[in-house]
Structure 1
Amino acid sequence: MEILRVRWSKEDRRAQKWRTMIDNFDSWRMGKKATRFRNRVRKGVPDCVRAKVWQMLMGSTAMMEREPNKYADLVASDLPVEGPIEEDIPRTMYDHELFCRKSRVNGRDMLRRVLTAYGRYDREVQYCQGVNYITSLFLLYMPEENAFWMLVATMNRPCAPLRELFLPGMLKAQEFQFVMDSLTKKHCEKLSNQILAHNLTPAMYATQWFLTAFTQRFPYDLVTRVWDMFLLEDWKVFYRVCLALFKSVEGKAAALDLENLNLLLRNMPPNVDAQQILDIAASIPLKHRHIGKRVALFGDFNANKK
């Protein structure tokens, strides 16, 4: 009982610190305290203020206030949306009480409305698989109109816009595969060589993690912590976490044949230890220039193919 009181007391103190930062959000985020703010985000935003912090990081509430009728108009529109929304809804977080078939609040209807509204809002992307998982994460934290504007904001943010992953041709996904294979070779050389020896690539496993922004199958505490960091930072967070996932099984994978290696990597998401993965990710000496160098190489490679 005493341990429980101490734990709750610690969580209460963390939450109070965050409420104080929220009251002076811009000075914490962009002022002299920015480094302390980033470090606190990396430790995890308390769940009780996470929705507020995420929306403030993205500016999505301000977007909603500027266009108060936009979401309702999009929902009411009869503009068709391309993409398998209906097929994907039953597959999305189906084991969560909000989205299960017998849900009393019918999260599936909320998800359908948000995905359809976004498809009408963004006529280039419309609907692409992966957006459903990202949207469902937002719906766990906020009302559907807020979730819609959160989706709009994250898809179109100036730094690391998620919609790049879903544009026709999926060039960003191809870039990720190129960069990820190269980074895995550098930071997890033994595992990379083992995968390549079977005519596979590390990106074949990591691309699904990237395209769903870690929202599919991973433990909830890992998903939310990754998103805390990503919303403040950029693509580097995703690369770090992918590398950490590979590093966490590199020793175990060394003695495996192809069949068991494949099983290990494909079944890894729900079985990882969130704190272990985040600790490994933080220890990886990955800089923006390392990613930028490989992105430039991909650009040259892609240009030479044309």
Structure 2
Amino acid sequence: EEDEIDWEFWSKVISDFNSVAKSEPKVLSYNIQRGIPPTLRGMIWQLFAKSKNVKLEEQYMQLLKEESVYEKAIARDLPKASFMNHEYFAVQDGQEALFNVVKAYSLYDTEVGYSQGLLHITGPLLLNMPEEEAFCVIVQLMNKYDLRGHFLPQSDLLSQRLYQLEGLVADHLPHIQRHFQAHGVRSNMYAYQWFSTLFAYKFPLDTVFRIYDMIFAEGIETLHRFSVALLERNQSTILSLEFDDLVNFLKSDLLEIYMVSIKCCEWQGLRADENANQLVKDAFQIHIVSKRLDRLAKDYQVESARANNEAEAIEALKRQNKALADSIKKMDMEYSELNKEHTEVATELITAKMDIARIHDENEALR
């Protein structure tokens, strides 16, 4: 594998990234498909992200001295990350680095604060660069790559991207989309973790690194390509399953088909690494037009606005119903009070009439 790496090309990328990106975009894309050399990966990611920022690194060091309200939550979630069994995170230094970066970001961006997804996104970065550089990359992912909207409490960007995924599945894999609709399976049931953690939640690190390669090179919409590719590769299995088994399969077992391919190739004496690249190759076969994504985004906004209007109308009706119910209750109470008063008056009237009759009888007797 080392022999196949085009070290001359990657040396050019390191020395003059902007020039290579402009003059040889297809060659760059081809080499990214083959995988960025592990020893250069962190550096290349930073070049794509344009994240190198000395002032931001200095700010990071200052943020480490401050306290965050999220420290207990971060410490509680650390052991839950799937990559914590990696040798880097098995020791105190690795765990502290992960804690530090996520804590610092919660102080840097108080609107976002902390989300467990940030923990999963940060881990693969730390396996390829020092913590202060990983912090700068996180800042760029949030802003330059428009990932911040996935974590802002008032943002619906993540929901929009999941809606776009459903539209793309309908375009590329209509049989799967009809199967999903028939069984009530929505994209947020299986792809939420993919998008909120950049596939780092459960996927093997080698696969996650390759996905990161493409995200840094081509943008966050790469998530859609990998999602559609995974579904396409597993189409026959997906179409054979019903709701419970289907959702469990989508959440946990989509990569199994690639693992089986690798084992088969090893048994046949073929190169296993070539099949390990199959997911990336599959993703590059998925062509997504930006205009289609824009159209789906607009459709989402229209549907979201309609749903919000309907929700507001329902809430207004609920308020009206409550007001009417309160009014009826008040009228019932007033009626009960009036009825009570009427009964008392009627009783007094009868008593008075009886008294008058008695007095009349007494007067007659006296005569």
Tell me the TM-score range normalised by the shorter chain.
Answer: 0.7 to 0.9
Q: Are residue 98 (structure 1) and residue 92 (structure 2) matched?
A: no
Q: Is the 8 A contact 2:68 2:103 kept in 1?
A: no
Q: Is the 8 A contact 2:63 2:108 kept in 1?
A: yes
Mapped to 1, the partners of 2:51 and 2:221 lie a distance apart of 22
Going from structure 1 to structure 2, the CA distance change for 1:237 and 1:167 (only over 3 Å counts) comes to: same
Going from structure 1 to structure 2, the CA distance change for 1:67 and 1:227 (only over 3 Å counts) comes to: closer
Which structure has the bigger radius of gyration?
Answer: 2
Q: Is the 8 A contact 1:192 1:201 kept in 2?
A: no
TM-superposition CA deviations, 1:209-247 (whole Å, max 9, x none): 111011121122321111111112123311010001111
Going from structure 1 to structure 2, the CA distance change for 1:68 and 1:240 (only over 3 Å counts) comes to: closer
Secondary structure at the counterpart of residue 283 of structure 2:
helix
Secondary structure at the counterpart of residue 199 of structure 1:
coil
Going from structure 1 to structure 2, the CA distance change for 1:153 and 1:73 (only over 3 Å counts) comes to: same
Paired position in structure 2 for 1:3: none
Alignment RMSD: 2.0
Going from structure 1 to structure 2, the CA distance change for 1:80 and 1:255 (only over 3 Å counts) comes to: closer
Paired position in structure 1 for 2:128: 141
Paired position in structure 2 for 1:171: 156
Task: Identify which of 15, 25, 35 aligns with 2:7.
Answer: 15
Name which of structure 1's ranges 39-48 and 292-301 shifts more when overlaid on structure 2. Answer: 39-48
Going from structure 1 to structure 2, the CA distance change for 1:73 and 1:191 (only over 3 Å counts) comes to: same
Q: TM-score, normalised by structure 1?
A: 0.88
Within 5 Å, give how 1:122-271 maps onto structure 2: 122-157=109-144, 160-271=145-256
Mapped to 1, the partners of 2:229 and 2:57 lie a distance apart of 41
- The alpha-carbon deviation at position 269 of structure 1 amounts to 4.9
Q: Is the 8 A contact 2:189 2:247 kept in 1?
A: no
Q: Is the 8 A contact 2:146 2:220 kept in 1?
A: no
Q: Which runs of 5+ in 2 are unaligned?
A: 259-275, 310-367
Name which of structure 1's ranges 146-155 and 264-273 shifts more when overlaid on structure 2. Answer: 264-273
Secondary structure at the counterpart of residue 40 of structure 2:
helix
Figure out how many residues of one structure are paired with residues of the other and give that number.
290
Mapped to 2, the partners of 1:21 and 1:177 lie a distance apart of 34
**What percent of counterpart residues are identical?**
28
Paired position in structure 1 for 2:41: 50
Going from structure 1 to structure 2, the CA distance change for 1:83 and 1:185 (only over 3 Å counts) comes to: farther
Q: Is the 8 A contact 2:121 2:200 kept in 1?
A: yes
Mapped to 2, the partners of 1:270 and 1:133 lie a distance apart of 18
TM-superposition CA deviations, 1:244-263 (whole Å, max 9, x none): 11111111222233333233
- The alpha-carbon deviation at position 276 of structure 1 amounts to 2.5
Mapped to 2, the partners of 1:86 and 1:41 lie a distance apart of 35
**AA matched with 2:4:** K
Task: Identify which of 282, 288, 291 aligns with 2:290.
Answer: 288
Q: TM-score, normalised by structure 2?
A: 0.74
Going from structure 1 to structure 2, the CA distance change for 1:220 and 1:16 (only over 3 Å counts) comes to: farther
- The alpha-carbon deviation at position 272 of structure 1 amounts to 4.9
**AA matched with 1:98:** Y
Q: Is the 8 A contact 2:225 2:288 kept in 1?
A: yes
Paired position in structure 2 for 1:40: 31
Secondary structure at the counterpart of residue 69 of structure 1:
helix
